[in-house]
Amino acid sequence: MPAYWVAHAKITDPVDYKKYTDRVPAIITRFGGKVLARGGRYQIMEGPEGFHRHIVIEFPTLEEAVACFQSPEYQEAAAFRRNGAGEVQNVIVEGGEATK
């Protein structure tokens, strides 16, 4: 069942944040991910307006999405963002109509 990695970001240092975003697409591809939305136009319909960039990535399974996030390659890339280039909320959710 597909899974979706949804990220909301606020960029505080575009130069260092770009070091992160330059590396991530190849990592996502290695784990079978496909970017569905990345930084396009958006409209917040409800909730806080703290994030200015929104990303949706589809993976074949929840496990592959989690493996991508936890991979050494992604963690190395994310270090650029985590060192003050931006703030991000990441969620990975399985697709379908789960009612558990």
What are the residue boundaries of the structural domains of the chain, listed by start? 3-94
Check residue 86 and give its pLDDT.
87
Check residue 100 and give its pLDDT.
61
Q: What predicted TM-score, i.e. pTM, was given to this entire model?
A: 0.89
Check residue 75 and give its pLDDT.
97
Check residue 47 and give its pLDDT.
87
Cα 56 to Cα 67: distance, rounded to the nearest angstrom: 16
Instruction: Determine the CATH number of domain 3-94.
Output: 3.30.70.100
The list of the chain residues with pLDDT below 70 reads: 98-100
Of 91, 18, 96, 14, give the one whose Cα is nearest residue 56. 91
